Structure 1
Amino acid sequence: MESLGTARTARTDAYLRRLGAARPARPTAASLRELHLCHLRTVPFENLSIHLGEDLVLTRDAVFDKIVTAGRGGICYELNGGFAELLGALGHRVELLQGRVYGKDGAPGIPYDHLALRVDGRWLADVGFGDHSAYPLDLDEPGEQKDPGGVFLVRPAGDDEERAGGGGDLEVLRDGVPVYRLETRPRVLADFRTGAWWHRTSPESGFTKGPVCSRLTEDGGRITLRDHTLIATSADGDRTEEELTTDEEVRAAYHTGFGIELDRLPVPLHPRP
């Protein structure tokens, strides 16, 4: 038992080093906020594995090795799966929730479309959605919540009749627009394997259209590499785009902007027409 505890401590310390964060003295709402922000700034949201022919393996060891050992990022299942393990090791109570992301047409995506976290029964943590809230959202707050990422609202999902029936689903809105719908029943990481497989393979998945890598910057902006286009967005919304013309420039952008070293570039699995 002691060796298992030592190994878990070593993994936790390694993850914290990856984030550039100190080990909290105890699990608090303040330390959760700090780790949430550190994760968004340090570990990119990226779907490169899909376009490099790599599988998306949803086990705690595979996720840890990708994020911490290899210095990569991932999509929601990997990022929030890894963050859940870290928070649990630090003493937080963490539950995995499955969600369906609303498309531009307002229709929800597939079941297990998204993975988010309920922490200590109160906080909605999500470091795996890309451009979203910088800090965890308060599930006990019925009103709007102001965040550097926008104005968020967490409310019971469905129409008036469904809400009256106490279905329990939650809807997350950003700036008045529904983002995703969450079931409140806790899940385990293996439950999301079908969703990960669909997002990795389906021509209908937005993730298979082309590679994307994105993270929050220290000044509150965002840097994104979408195929060969490098996009910088400032905290006040100013946006610049640069087309990278050579493979060397793209590799350098992955290294400089995201700390990712690639020996070959990702090739779109199902390119947009």
Structure 2
Amino acid sequence: MKKRHNFLWVIMAMVLFAFAFSKEFLPAMHPDEGISSSLSSSDEATSLHFINVGQGDAELIVCGDDAVLIDGGKASAGSTVVDYLSRQGIAELDAVIATHPHEDHIGGLVSVLDAFQVDAFYMSDEAMDTDIYEKLLDAIDNEGIQPQFPDIGDVIPIGDSGAKLTVLAPGPDSADTYSKSDPNTWSLVCRLDANGCSALFTGDTTAAVEKDMLRTVPNLLPCDVLKVAHHGSRTASSKDFIQAVSPSYAVISYADGNSYGLPNHEVFDYLEPLGTKIYETAKDGTVVLQLKNGKVSLAA
């Protein structure tokens, strides 16, 4: 019995050693699979590009080999966006998000769809009867893409990077919920989580939608980076909302000398006391932020 007992212990030790050996070397043997893939992607910085498209919005998120574009400026900015993405080495977009159907957000996306492979397209479920909106729908159809209309809580993965966008507002039938006459209230609001950091992309959302987010998703509002809503208009960026987000960095996208008088001074009055570093595309050009190891920095 004693000899048999020792023999069993030897067999068990050999099995445990073989298991430990396979665990140690499996990532090296399979660099594109399983845990090794998630580890390598988490080590890569995520970059946020707030592209200078004049009076409009266009934001590029790059996580390693994966990329998502949020809005594309006016139609006249389409070539600017396409050229910028090309210079970043982008050949394929994992997703494009059109926050709402105003021309200064969706116009350039027609050129983007023509120039790049787009794997998924997300948009507000509300439509506008405009030429540029029809052109966008035609471009989506020509690419053979079935557009998706995300709801609150839906998650948009950014490739296999582990980064994700979570939809915070406005929910389905936003025209009935907020305003049939103000497409800004239909803007998709998305929170990015990547590399231990977070960013809030707000489109042209309004104070009414902000108020609802303060009530429904308060725990998801605090973020490191804020894309200031509606080019710094006083119709958004309420004091309570800005304080809830409390961003370390904020970016305002607009054209110098625009006819709307944007951005309004209230936005700065709310952000500056928080110690937020504020960047403006009209003054700073395209702004690029790096997210890595839980820290945000301005790209060199």
Q: TM-score, normalised by structure 1?
A: 0.28
Q: TM-score, normalised by structure 2?
A: 0.26
Kindly name which structure, 1 or 2, has the bigger radius of gyration based on alpha carbons: 2
Structure with the largest fraction of helix: 2
